[in-house]
Structure 1
Amino acid sequence: MIRTLQNGQRCEVWIASAAGTSELAFTTDKLLLEAPNWTLDGQALILNGDGALWRLDLSGGLEKVAITGVPDLNNDHVLAPDGATIYLSANDGHIYRAALDGGEATKITDDDGWFHFLHGVSPDGQTLAYVGIEAGDFSQPGRLITIPAGGGQTTAIDADGHCDGPEYSPDGDWLYFNTEAFTGQPGHAQLARVQNGNGSTPERLLESETVDWFPHLTPDGRLASYIRFPGGTVGHPADLPVDVVVVSTSDWTTPLHTWPLFGGQGTLNVNSWSPDSERFAYVAYPVSNSIGMP
């Protein structure tokens, strides 16, 4: 399903710094953009909108990326470490690979009866981490799964409860994600990590009353961002007052900076840190009468 803006709503792409400042990079009331990635050269953001991929040049200008051979895209897309390749999740439930400058896409996942939602690429570019939903039945819990970047045999990672957002640490030793396994409260996602490939028990990163999603580490591993939903939220819906939070990876319990906004789905679904680890991007969706409108 392709998301669109409500009447009176606008899309705002913000750039925040590790030091706690923020600036508006782009705004539109015509197109709902989601989930920024930062290009390896530091010059642009890659986002999805209207089922397509878009490049937002930070010096000005939004341009559609001409990718063919792929259905409408959702907001799960990640750049490969080479900076020239992007992996994409489409609304047919499959993961695709394409050149970042456009062209024909290649399907990676098999018709195995699962929906595949990409979130992570290993630092060596050899493996993808995704969330699998059996038979596309969203009443079933999301499972953490890896697959070779070229396709092939999948590997399930043992993590209880509904999970989402698996991303590799910069050294490749850990997968960071959110899970509902730590409490019996429906939808109460908390941040966690699990050692990559050794079957260890997931480690809870902090205990909170909020619903916490999508941990994203900086390329140097010092900091992380995530999105904080109000307590009692189920899933990661759109159009709520939420917080974007930055913490030190040495202390997840103490926010360094917090940005309240109106958003949720699409705000921070994928890693949006700049290559120098100094800035990251997020998207807000203020409505003229919404709480939290800047």
Structure 2
Amino acid sequence: MDMNMDIHTLRKLVARDGTRSFLETLDIHTGERTVRKTFDVVIEAPNWTRDGRRLVYNSQGRMHAFELATGEVSAIDTGFATDCNNDHVLSPDNTQLAISHFTNEDAASRIYTLPLGGGAPVLVTPQGPSYLHGWSPDGARLAYCAERGGQYDIYTIGVHGGPETRLTDTPGLDDGPEYSPDGRSIWFNSTRSGLMQLWRMDADGGNPTHMVQEDANGWFPHVSPDGQWVAYVAYGKDDVAPGDHPPDKWVELRVVPASGGVSRTLVKLFGGQGTLNVNSWAPDSRTLAFVSYERMG
């Protein structure tokens, strides 16, 4: 993100005018794909609530909840945070929402928490840019990608703020950190091997392991609630630079056993940025929510 970009320019960039969005769900075993709702604006990154009833997503800088049973959409009050991006997660007990919001003073993303039902955001990361991706199962820490001194690495911080802990320092981009359900590991994606690939490390940053080695650029590993599967977005090797994850590309949703092994393509779609940035697994560990797109006109 260009740190010299003002907030008005940033809003135009993320709006992607002329794009239609399809909020979809997918059964990873049968391959059944269901369009839940169509929007004539960009929506991104659905989180599935623990009760299985709602999907929480961002659109036009705001947060929204979609009721799966009725198709009803309701706004979530995020107070002054009206430039939310697609890096948001729910607390393990589903009482809190953590968001990444582009602050007006420098258009840099910072992390905040607020009640899931809406309320005043509380700042967690004074430094920006910080892009949220994971919440520890015990509710105590947040994991995020942050740029500090010109280098993007993975950090964690207490849910109420305080000193941040740097977990990676390898040259290249490290992004997308997400805790395993047992809290012992953090999955992430990294360009350290050349292409963007999926890695796993201990929760304290130790023992980094290259988990998925394939001829593609893999982004945003999401671990199923039962800890058995990891879903992610794959860009073609020659379609993007390894450190880039743009919208409006043909991509694949893939799944791989959490123990490692060969990945399996679930679906091909027009998307990329916004499709699966955050954990979108249903509580049943069988169904994924995601967003596909279409350029109108």
In the superposition, the TM-score normalised over structure 1's length comes to 0.89
Find the partner of 1:150 among 160, 170, 178. 160
Aligned pairs for 1:97-112 (under 5 A) are 97-110=113-126, 112=127
Q: Which residue matches 2:270?
A: 262
What is the distance in 2 between the residues matched to 1:13 and 1:142?
30
Equivalent residue letter for 2:132:
L
Find the partner of 1:61 among 63, 68, 72. 72
- Segments of structure 2 that go 5 or more residues without pairing to the other structure are 1-9, 104-108
Q: CA deviation at 1:158?
A: 2.6
Q: CA deviation at 1:157?
A: 0.5
Q: Which residue matches 2:134?
A: 120
| Aligned sequence identity (%) | 36
Find the partner of 1:191 among 177, 195, 198. 198
Asked if structure 1 preserves the Cα contact closer than 8 Å seen for 2:98 and 2:111, the reply is: yes
Q: Which residue matches 2:6?
A: none
SS of the residue 1:104 aligns to: coil
Aligned pairs for 1:156-235 (under 5 A) are 156-160=166-170, 161-183=172-194, 188-197=195-204, 199-232=205-238, 233-234=240-241, 235=244
Equivalent residue letter for 2:255:
V
What is the distance in 2 between the residues matched to 1:264 and 1:57?
24
Q: Which residue matches 2:255?
A: 246
Q: CA deviation at 1:287?
A: 2.6
What is the distance in 2 between the residues matched to 1:95 and 1:214?
18
What is the distance in 2 between the residues matched to 1:158 and 1:246?
25
RMSD: 1.5
What is the distance in 2 between the residues matched to 1:133 and 1:252?
31
Asked if structure 1 preserves the Cα contact closer than 8 Å seen for 2:21 and 2:38, the reply is: yes
Pair 159,134 (structure 1): closer, same or farther in 2 beyond 3 Å: closer
CA deviations on 1:5-33 (whole Å, 9 max, x unpaired) are: 443x310011011312211111111x210
What is the distance in 1 between the residues matched to 2:122 and 2:290?
28
Q: CA deviation at 1:153?
A: 1.1
What is the distance in 1 between the residues matched to 2:142 and 2:260?
27
CA deviations on 1:156-177 (whole Å, 9 max, x unpaired) are: 0034121110000000111100
Q: CA deviation at 1:201?
A: 3.6
Find the partner of 1:52 among 33, 48, 62. 62
Equivalent residue letter for 1:106:
V
What is the distance in 2 between the residues matched to 1:120 and 1:51?
20
Equivalent residue letter for 1:279:
T
Q: CA deviation at 1:248?
A: 1.9
Aligned pairs for 1:77-92 (under 5 A) are 77-92=88-103
Asked if structure 1 preserves the Cα contact closer than 8 Å seen for 2:144 and 2:177, the reply is: yes
Q: CA deviation at 1:36?
A: 0.5
Find the partner of 2:145 among 111, 122, 131. 131
1:13 partnered with 2:44: no
Q: CA deviation at 1:38?
A: 0.4
- Segments of structure 1 that go 5 or more residues without pairing to the other structure are 290-294
Equivalent residue letter for 1:118:
L
In the superposition, the TM-score normalised over structure 2's length comes to 0.88
Q: Which residue matches 1:73?
A: 84
Asked if structure 2 preserves the Cα contact closer than 8 Å seen for 1:159 and 1:201, the reply is: no
CA deviations on 1:30-87 (whole Å, 9 max, x unpaired) are: x210000001111010000000001111121111111213241111000001111010
